[in-house]
Amino acid sequence: FGNNFESCFTINSPIHITNITKIVHNISHPSYPPILYSSIQNLRFNSTNLKPHFIITPEHPGHVQAAVTCSKCHDLQVRVRSGGHDYEGLSYKANTPFIIIDLINHREVRIDVENGNAWVQAGATLGELYYKIANVSKNHGFPAGTCPTIGVGGHISGGGQGTLMRKFGLAADNVLDAILVNAYGEIVDRESMGEDLFWAIRGGGAASFGVVLQWKLNLVPIPPQVTAFTVMKTQNQGATQLLHRFQQVADKFSEDLFIRPMIFVRNDANGTKTVQVNFQSLFLGTVDKLIPLMEQSFPELGLKPQDCREMSWVESILYIDDGFPKGESIEVLLDRNHNVNKGFFKAKSDFVTEPISENDLETIWKVMQDGESGIMIWEPYGGKMGEISESETPFPHRAGVLFNIQYFKRWQEPGNETEAEHLNGINKLYESMTPFVSKNPRTAYLNYRDLDLGKNKNGSFSEAKVWGEKYFKNNFNRLAKVKGEVDPENFFKNEQSIVAPNVSV
Ligand code: FDA
C-alpha cells in the first residue's frame, strides 16, 4: 500500500496520477491553508488545532476510493466536506488523526428536463443546482434549503428543508438514486447498495455510511411566476397576536403558500428592546391569486398587493436569501461566497406540535429581551410534510408537527468570554422553550447539528441512542442496524455518527 499516505494514494488510485500535489494536499503545502479555510462558515472552528493530516480534493471517483483505502491502512479517520456548512464543524475538524475529502472539484450538475430529473455531484452548492435548473427550464425547481452556498452533499443527506417543503417535502424526499463510495471503497448505486442503505443516506446523515458522490434528484413543477413578500410587525403592531394566530393556521394553508416568521429583538435608538417578527413568504402563483387566498386563510396579517413582488422561482431564492436587491443578477447563485457573512455562530432546533399561547409568547419575549438570545425561525410544516410517514426516510418529524424552530445566534467578535456570553443567551432561550416543544424525547433536526444533544465518547450504541433518538426517534434503531450491516468496523465515524447495536463498550 505504500509506506506513506501519498504513495499509497498513487498506487491505489485507479486513475493514473501525474501530479499528486493537485489532489493530496499535505499540511506543509501552500495549497493546504486556502483549501482548508475556503468553505469554513463557522469561525468558532477556524482556528482549531484539530487540523487534518491531508486534504484530498478528488477529481475522479477513483480518488475517493483511494482516499478511503489509504485512510484505513494508515489509521486515519475520514471527514467528508461538500459545502462546509455543518454547524459544529464536523466536516473539517476531528480530535483524532484524520483527513478531509473535500468535494470542491466534484460539482457537475446535469439536468434532464425531458424526464424531470437531475444528476448532481455532491460538491455542488444549492445555488449552482438552482441556477442550472433555471437555466434550462422556467417550469422546474427543486425543494431544498434557502441558503444558496450550502453543499448538496451534507444538506440532502441530512434532510433539507426550505420554502417548497409544504408542497413537495424535503430534498431527501426527492432523491431517486445516489452514487456512493462505501466503507469497503466500492462505488455503489441505489441498486447495488440496497434499499436499506439508500434509505439511511436520505436524512440519516451520509457521513456515517460513506461518501456520496452524486444524487439523482426529482425536479418538481413550478409556475413561471411566484410571489414573495415580507411583512414586518413589532410587539406594538400586534406581532404576538399574529404569531398566535399563525400557529393555528400555517400548517393548514394551501400547499402553495409558505410563510415563516423570523423573530428577533430590535434595539431601538431610545434604548428599548422590541420584539420584531418578519413574516417572510413564498407563494407558488401570482399576486392576484395570493391576495384572496390570504384574505381567506390569514386575513389578520393584512397583506396588500403593494407588499408583494412577483418574480421567477429562481429569483425567489435570492429574495429569501438577501432580499433580491434591484439589479441583482441570478449569476450570484454561482458564487460560493455570495452573501456569506462569515461569523461565529451556534444553532439549536425544536419541533412544536401545540400552539403556544399569547401569555407564554410574552414570557418568551422577556427572555429574548433579557439576553443575547439571537433569532428564532419558525418553518411551517403540514401539507406534503404531514403526508409522508415517519419511517419513509430517517427524518421522522412529519404529521402533527406545526412548525420547526431554528434558534440561531451569530456574533462577530472573537474571544472565549464573548462566546460564553452568546452561548449563554441562546441556551437560556432554548431552556425557556422546554414547556412548549416536543417531549420524550425533545426532538431536533439533524441539519441544525447540535453537539449539546450528546456525543459519541466511548463509542457505544446506548450512548449514541441518547442524541440519535432526538434526531431520528424510532428510526435510530433502523439506522443502527444498517450501520452494522454496511460498516461493521465503524470506519466512518464522528462525534454524532450512527453506532451499530452490537457495539457496547
Ligand atoms: P458540510 O460539508 O459541512 O457537511 C455536513 C455534514 O455532512 C458533515 O457531517 C459531513 O461530513 C457530511 N457530508 C458532507 N458531504 C458529504 C458527502 N458527499 N458524503 C457523505 N457525507 C457528507 N438547512 C436546511 O435544511 N435548510 C436551510 O435553509 C438551511 N440554511 C442554512 C444556512 C446557513 C448559513 C447554514 C450554515 C446552514 C443552513 N442549513 C440549512 C443547514 C445545512 O443544511 C447543514 O449544515 C448541511 O449539513 C450542510 O451541508 P454542507 O455540505 O454544506 O456541509
CA–centroid distance, 84 to ligand 1, in Å, is 7
Say what the pLDDT of residue 110 is.
98
127 lines ligand 1 (CB under 6 A): no
Say what the pLDDT of residue 504 is.
54
Q: State what percent of residues in the chain have pLDDT above 90.
A: 94
pLDDT category, 505, cuts 50, 70, 90?
Answer: low
Cα gap 353→396, rounded to integer Å: 13
Report H helices in 51-187. 61-73, 126-136, 152-157, 165-168
**Mean pLDDT of all residues in 165-171:** 98
- pLDDT per position as a tens digit, 475-503: 999 999 999 999 999 999 999 999 999 76
90 lines ligand 1 (CB under 6 A): yes
Nearest 10 degrees: CA dihedral of 52, 57, 62, 64? 40
The minimum-distance atom of ligand 1 relative to the CA of 81 is 2
Count of CB atoms within 10 A of residue 362's CB? 12
161 lines ligand 1 (CB under 6 A): yes
The minimum-distance atom of ligand 1 relative to the CA of 125 is 52
Cα gap 268→270, rounded to integer Å: 5
Q: State what percent of residues in the chain have pLDDT above 70.
A: 99
| Amino acid at site 350 | D
Cα gap 212→201, rounded to integer Å: 9
CA–centroid distance, 77 to ligand 1, in Å, is 19
Say whether pLDDT at 434 is over 60.
Answer: yes
383 lines ligand 1 (CB under 6 A): no
Say whether pLDDT at 369 is over 90.
Answer: yes
Say what the pLDDT of residue 338 is.
86
For 50, 230, 235, 276, the CA distances from 302, given in Å and listed in that order, are 52, 12, 16, 16
CA–centroid distance, 393 to ligand 1, in Å, is 17
